[in-house]
């Protein structure tokens, strides 16, 4: 595929949600993964890139994604799966739920052979948490490509956006893509990265 052509998401559909990685079907397409703390705008990001208002559930209550959600995406001539992992770090979920999520997420990331890229999503206003850093270290140890996405860019004045992104790049020592579900900033570059990852790799270093 010529990635210089206009990339268009032609179709997006929900496939299934499972509470355990063992319940997932065998991987048939490249899998691009969305991971991050609760309430960083993960569902809004998914809905924005696919051009749908309610493909992924958006809620004012953090932590609504409790299982592994699988979506089928047709990106121009590329078929892929978008995987939405449960948000981590939400204290009001039960201890049993929080305890179960760690092994579920780690098990998926460690053993799922179809993964091509993991997008680690953070709120630009808050930066990386300890959990985010641990996730990226875990992905690096597995040799799994990752991309740091800073959402809610529109919440900062224009003059502060570049400063905040540069600070996050320095602290993380990796590439950071700014994104806003309101202004659609970052949508095109993220779709291009999805295509590159699904068809053969992505640069993960700044």
Judged against a pLDDT cut of 90, whether residue 100 lies above it is answered with no
Would 133 be classed as within a structural domain? Answer: yes
Which pLDDT belongs to residue 56? Answer: 66
Would 57 be classed as within a structural domain? Answer: yes
* Mean pLDDT (the chain, rounded): 85
> b vs e for 15-47, b when ≥16 Cβ sit within 10 Å of the residue's Cβ?
eeebeebeebeeeebbbbbbbbbbbbbbbbbbb
Main-chain phi, psi angles of 160, to 5 degrees: -95, -15
Domain count, the chain: 1
Per-residue pLDDT reduced to its tens digit, 162-172 = 999 999 999 99
For 94-118, what is the mean pLDDT?
A: 80
Which domain does 32 fall in, by range? 9-199
Task: Give which of 35, 62, 37 is closest to 46, Cα–Cα.
Answer: 35
Would 140 be classed as within a structural domain? Answer: yes
For 93-117, what is the mean pLDDT?
A: 78
CA 194/CA 102 separation, integer angstroms:
25
Report whether 119 contacts 197 (CB < 8 A): no
Which pLDDT belongs to residue 89? Answer: 63
53 falls in which pLDDT band (50, 70, 90)? confident
Q: Which of 8-17, 65-74, 167-176 has the lowest mean pLDDT?
A: 65-74
For 43-65, what is the mean pLDDT?
A: 69
Would 1 be classed as within a structural domain? Answer: no
CA 116/CA 193 separation, integer angstroms:
11
Would 98 be classed as within a structural domain? Answer: yes
Q: Which of 15-24, 113-122, 171-180 has the lowest mean pLDDT?
A: 15-24
CATH number of the domain residue 140 falls in? 3.40.50.300
N-terminal to C-terminal alpha carbon distance within the chain? 25
Would 204 be classed as within a structural domain? Answer: no
pTM (2 d.p.): 0.86
Would 121 be classed as within a structural domain? Answer: yes
Would 33 be classed as within a structural domain? Answer: yes
Judged against a pLDDT cut of 70, whether residue 154 lies above it is answered with yes
């Amino acid at each position: 595929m010529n990635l210089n052509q206009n990339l268009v998401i032609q179709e997006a559909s929900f496939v299934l949600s499972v509470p355990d990685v063992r319940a997932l079907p065998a991987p048939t397409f490249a899998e691009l993964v969305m991971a991050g703390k609760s309430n960083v705008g993960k569902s809004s990001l998914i809905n924005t890139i696919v051009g749908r208002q309610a493909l992924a559930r958006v809620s004012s209550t953090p932590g609504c994604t409790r299982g592994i959600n699988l979506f089928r995406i047709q990106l121009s001539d590329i078929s892929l799966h978008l995987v939405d992992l449960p948000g981590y770090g939400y204290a009001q979920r039960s201890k049993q739920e929080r305890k179960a999520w760690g092994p579920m997420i780690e098990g998926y990331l460690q053993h799922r052979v179809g993964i091509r890229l993991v997008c680690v999503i953070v709120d630009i206003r808050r930066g990386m948490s300890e959990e985010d850093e641990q996730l990226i270290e875990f992905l690096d140890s597995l040799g799994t490509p990752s991309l740091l996405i800073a959402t809610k860019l529109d919440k900062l004045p224009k003059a502060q956006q570049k400063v905040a992104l540069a600070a996050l790049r320095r602290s993380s020592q990796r590439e950071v893509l700014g994104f806003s579900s309101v202004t659609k900033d970052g949508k095109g570059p993220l779709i291009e990265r999805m295509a590159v990852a699904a068809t053969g790799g992505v640069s993960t270093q700044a």
